[in-house]
Structure 1
C-alpha cells in the first residue's frame, strides 16, 4: 500500500468505476460491460495475481488483445503494484525474447494472444490466463471477497514500461512511476487542459483497437471513463473493407485515434465513395506530424472533427490543436497546438541555451507524468532525461502566441558530404505539392557523398507526381544539397506494428533499388 493518507494510482480509476454502478463502460460486440462488472473483473484479476505471488515491484508482461478483460488486467496489475510491461502485437520472436528478459515474473495472455510463438519466447516464465488459456490459471475466475482492492503501488516504483516502436532495433522501454501516473490528468476532470476538455465532450463512444499496450489508446480510454463515455471494441474489417471508415460507421463511433497514413486513406475513401459519418465528432491524429495542407483537406472532407496532437512516449501529451482553433484561424494549421499550463516547453539552441519566440531550436519539455528513464540504458537515459527535462530531439519554434511549430527531427537526418540535411524540411516541401498526399525521406549509402537523400511520395487522389518536378521544388526551396537523389512514387507508406510510417522498410526499399540499379 502506498504511504500517506490516500491510496495511490490506480485508485482514481477505481473511483471512476465505483461511482458508475451499471453505467456501460465497455462494449464488445453484443456484450456491454457496466462499471460494477468492470470493478469486479479488476478485483478478480488482482486476487489472482496476488495468489500467483505478484506484488509491488514484480514485472508483469501484458500480452493481450482489446477486450474488457484486457483493460481489467492492466488496471489489476497496477492495483497489486506490479511493473506492467505492455507488449504490443507484431513483435519478432527475438524482440519478444528481448522484452521478456527484462526481469519479468509472469506473462498475462488471453486466448487471442497465447500463440506458440509467445509460449516459446516465454519458456520458463509462469503463464497466467486472462480468460481460458490452455495450461494457465484463469485469473478472471479468481475468488474475491467483498472488500474492494486497495492499490499497493509505491510512488517511486515503476508502474508502467511503455515501449517505443523499435524502428531502430529492439524496442526501448520508457519507465513511468506510480507517482507520475498519479500526477496525470486523464482520470481527473478538474485537471483537464482546455483542449482535452474539448475532446472529452466527444467521447460518448470511443473506438478502441489494436492494443491497450498503446499509451495513447489506453490513456484516452481512461479519459473516456472520466468523461462518462463508453469504450467500444472495433471488430476486424469484413471482407477486405478498409478499417476506416467501416469501423466508425459499424460501431457508431463518436471518437477514435488515427495515424497519418490511415487519415489519408479515410479522406481518400470519403472523396471517392462517401459514407455517413454523422456520429463522428473527434479524430485524434497521433504518431507523426500532419502537413498543413493535408490537415486542411481532412477538415474540408470530414468536417471539424480532427484534433492534431503532439506528444512522445517519454512525455505523454505536449500540446493539442482543436478543430475550433483551426477554423477560427487557418494560420494555426501549421502548428501542433499550444501547450497547456501544466506543460513547460523550452526551445534551445545547439549549445543548450533557451532561445526567444520565433527562433528555431530543439524542444525540451517537462510534463506532470513524464517517464524517468529507459530500461537498462543509462547512456540513453542521461542523454534524453536532463535536469528534470526531457530532450525531445524534435526541432521547431514557439510563435508569439505560444503555439508549437514542428520543423523536423534532430536525428532524422541525411549526412551528405559531411553536412546534415534534415528530413523534416524536405518532407514538408514535397508534401506542399498538390500532387502529393504524403512524403517521407530516408538516408541511403552513397559512394560519392557518404549518404544520399531518397524520397518516397504517396500521390494525392487522381494525381501522378513527376519526380523531376518534385526534385526541382526542393532545389528551389532548400538548395541543391537537399535535393533527393531519387523520388519514388508508392501507393501507400508501409507502417510498423504501432501504426507509424516504417522508415526502416522504406530504407530497405531504397537500398534494394540502388543495388538493382
Structure 2
C-alpha cells in the first residue's frame, strides 16, 4: 500500500538532498533545503493560535515561489484541507471561497490584494511569519479526507471548486515514480529544467511540476512577474528544457519564431506541452515543423488530470492523428456514451466519459452527481469519438453552445470549420442574443492573410457546408490577438464585451 501524499515527494527529496529542486533567479534551493522549509512551516502551522486540527481547511494565496510550494506541502503533511488560489482572483470571489477556512496564508505578492478587501473572514497570516521550529514531517493525512481544492477556469460557467482527496493525490501518476512505465521515464527525462510560472493553483501545473521534481529535474521560476514574461525569450535566456503552453501562447511564440528564430537558442528545449484548449490541426502541424519532435498536445480536465497525449511521433506514424487529442494515457479509460448513457461503438460521436487514477471526488460549490457516476466515471462535458486505433477525436463541448431557432449548435464545431480555412490562424465563437433567432453565433478570428484580409464569404460557406446554414456566424470580426483570461485560456466573456462596445 502506498504511503499517503506527500510521502513519495519527501522520500524522493531525501534520497537526493543535494540536487536542486528550484532555481529562483540567483537563489538555488536544494531538495534538502525544501525539506527544511517544509519542516519549519509544519512547525509554524502547528504553533498557530488557530489550533489547526486534522482535516481543517486553510487557504493559500501566494505567488509562485519555493516557499509557496513548501508551505502547501507542510499543510498536506498535517493532513489539512488546502484551498489553493490563483493570483488575480476577484475580491468578491476570494471572500466567498475562503469563508469557511481557518486561516488565509499570503505573501508579499498577494498581501496588497487581501488588504484591499474588507470582508475576509479567516485570520490572514503572512508567509514570512510562519517559519517556526522544525517539526516532524511524517504525513498525517487520512485517505478519505479532502486534501486539495482547486478552482476551474469557468469555461462552462462559474469557477467550480474541484476537490481531491488524499487518496486521489496519492494515486496521481506524476507523484508516484513506482507507477511509471518506460514511456513516462522518457518523458520525465525531458524535464531537467522545467519553466514554472503563473500559478500553483492549477491541476495541470502541479502535474507538470510533479513530473519534473520526481524525475530529478529542477523547476526554474522566472523573477520577472508572470504577465510581463516574454516568450520565447525566457526559454532561451534560462536554458529551459520543458515548458507548459496554452494555445494562445503557442500561437504567439510561433509567430515570433517564424520571423526571427535565429535570435533564440532553443537547443535545450525537449518538451513543449500544449494544454488548456483544443489546438487546430494546422497550428499543431506548424508547431511540429517549427519546434520539432518536442511538441506534445495534452488533453485533460481540472477534474481528471491528464487523459490523452498526442506526440509528434504519433503524428509521424499516423498523419491523420493530428486531428485528434491523442490516445488515453496510462491508467485512463474512456467511454463514448449516448444522451441516455449507453456506450456507443467506435467512430460514433457522443459524450466523453473517463475513469482515471487520482480524479476528483466532488465540487465544493456545485452538485457533482451529473458528472460523476457511482462507479467513478466522470463526464468531461466534451463531445467526441474513439477510432479503432484508440485516438480520441473531440468535436466540441457539450455546454459551449449556441441555440438558433431552438436548435443547438456546438461552438467547437463552428470553430473547427473556420479554422480549416488557410486564411484563419485561430477561431473563437460565442453566443449572442438575436431578435429573430433567439441566439446567433459571433466569430472572432486571427488571420494569416493580414495584408489582403480574410475571405469572409469563403469562411461563411465553410460553416454552411460543414455545420449548417443556420450556424453561419452573424458577424465575423478580425482581431489581432484573443484576450486571455487569468487561467491562460481564451477569454470568451471579454470577446462578448467587444461586441457590446461595438454596438
1:355-434 aligned within 5 A:
355-378=344-367, 381-387=368-374, 388-434=376-422
How far apart, in 1, do the equivalents of 2:180 and 2:145 lie? 25
Pair 1:111 & 2:102 matched: no
Aligned match for 1:350, one of 319, 339, 350: 339
Q: Does 1:244 align with 2:231?
A: yes
Count of aligned positions: 497
**Cα shift at 1:189:** 2.2
CA distance in 1, matches of 2:62, 2:286: 36
Distance of 2:98 and 2:158 partners within structure 1? 12
Q: 1:34 to 1:122 in 2, by over 3 A?
A: farther
**What residue number does 2:172 align with?**
184
Q: Does the CA-based 8 Å contact 2:170-2:176 persist in structure 1?
A: no
Q: Which residue of 2 aligns with 1:203?
A: 191
Over 3 Å counting, the alpha-carbon distance change for 1:13 and 1:241 in structure 2 is closer
Q: 2:208 aligns with which of 210, 217, 220?
A: 220
Residues 405 and 116 of structure 1: CA distance in aligned 2, closer, same or farther (over 3 Å): closer
Q: Where does residue 481 of structure 1 map in the other structure?
A: 470
2:491, 2:301 → 1: CA distance?
17
Question: CA deviation digits over 1:7-49, x for unaligned, max 9?
Answer: 4111111111111111111000011010100000011111111
Distance 2:223 2:134 in 1: 31
Per the alignment, residue 58 of structure 1 pairs with: 56
Which 5+ residue runs of structure 2 have no aligned equivalent?
Answer: none
Taking a change above 3 Å as real, the CA distance of residues 12 and 242 of structure 1, as seen in their structure-2 partners, is: closer
C-alpha displacement at 1:389, in angstroms? 1.0
What's 1:123 paired with? 120
Alignment match, 1:24: 20
Residues 192-201 or 108-117, more deviating: 192-201
Shift in Å, 1:489: 0.4
8 Å contact kept, 1:93–1:121: no
Specify the SS of the correspondent of 1:56. Answer: coil
User: In angstroms, what is the RMSD of aligned CA positions?
Assistant: 1.8
d(CA) in 2 for partners of 1:250 and 1:181? 34
Which consecutive residues of structure 1, in runs of 5 or more, have no partner in the other structure?
Answer: 132-137
- Counterpart of 1:329 (choices 318, 328, 331) is 318
CA-to-aligned-CA distance 1:309-348 (integer Å, 9 cap, x gap): 0000011111111222122322111111111341111000
Q: Secondary structure at the match of 1:186?
A: helix
What is the match of residue 290 of structure 1? Answer: 279
Checking the alignment, whether the CA contact within 8 Å between 1:268 and 1:461 is kept in structure 2 is no
* TM-score normalised by the chain length of structure 2: 0.95
CA shift for structure 1 position 129: 2.0
Aligned residue number for residue 8 of structure 1:
4
Q: CA deviation at 1:68?
A: 0.8
2:94 aligns to what?
96
SS in 1 for 2:162: strand
The aligned counterpart of 2:255 is 268
Aligned partner of residue 104 in structure 1, secondary structure: coil
- What is the rounded CA distance, in whole Å, between the counterparts of 1:67 and 1:286 in structure 2? 22
CA distance in 1, matches of 2:292, 2:478: 29
Query: What is the CA-CA distance between 1:171 and the residue it aligns to?
Result: 2.0
Contact kept? 1:194, 1:340, Cα under 8 Å: no
* Residue 32 of structure 2, aligned match among 36, 47, 51: 36
Asked if 1:259 corresponds to 2:246, the answer is yes
**Is 1:506 aligned to residue 495 of structure 2?**
yes
Change (3 A) 1:45 1:121: farther
2:82 aligned residue: 84
Among candidates 130, 134, 144, match of residue 134 of structure 2: 144
Q: Counterparts of 2:104 and 2:359 in 1: how far apart (Å)?
A: 26
**Counterpart in 1 of 2:480?**
491
Q: Which runs of 4+ in 1 moved over 3 A?
A: 116-119, 121-124, 166-170, 193-198
Query: What's the counterpart of residue 135 of structure 1?
Result: none
Deviation string, structure 1 residues 442-496 (Cα, Å, up to 9, x no partner): 1000010000010000112746223222112211222301111110000011111
Q: Shift of residue 273 of structure 1?
A: 1.2
Asked if the contact 2:95–2:120 (Cα under 8 Å) also holds between the matched residues in 1, the reply is: no
Quick check: 1:195–1:320 contact (8 Å CA) kept in 2?
Answer: no
SS of the residue 2:4 aligns to = coil
Whether the 8 Å CA contact 2:57–2:83 is kept in 1: the answer is yes
- In the alignment, structure 1 residue 453 sits paired with structure 2 residue 441: yes
Q: 1:303 to 1:373 in 2, by over 3 A?
A: same
1:244 counterpart SS class = coil
SS in 2 for 1:152: coil
**Cα contact 1:96–1:118 (8 A) shared by 2:** no
What is the rounded CA distance, in whole Å, between the counterparts of 1:322 and 1:359 in structure 2?
Answer: 24
448, 455, 459: which one aligns with 1:470: 459
Summarize deviations over 1:424-451 as a string: whole Å, max 9, x none. Answer: 1110111111111110111000010000
In the alignment, the residues of structure 1 paired with residue 221 and residue 83 of structure 2 have an alpha-carbon distance, to the nearest angstrom, of 22
**Equivalent residue for 2:71?**
73
**Alignment partner of 2:43 out of 43, 47, 66:** 47
Q: Deviations over 1:145-194 (max 9, x none)?
A: 5xx41111111110000101135664210110000111111122232356
Residues 376 and 32 of structure 1, relative CA distance in 2, 3 Å threshold: same
Q: Which residue does the alignment assign to 1:303?
A: 292
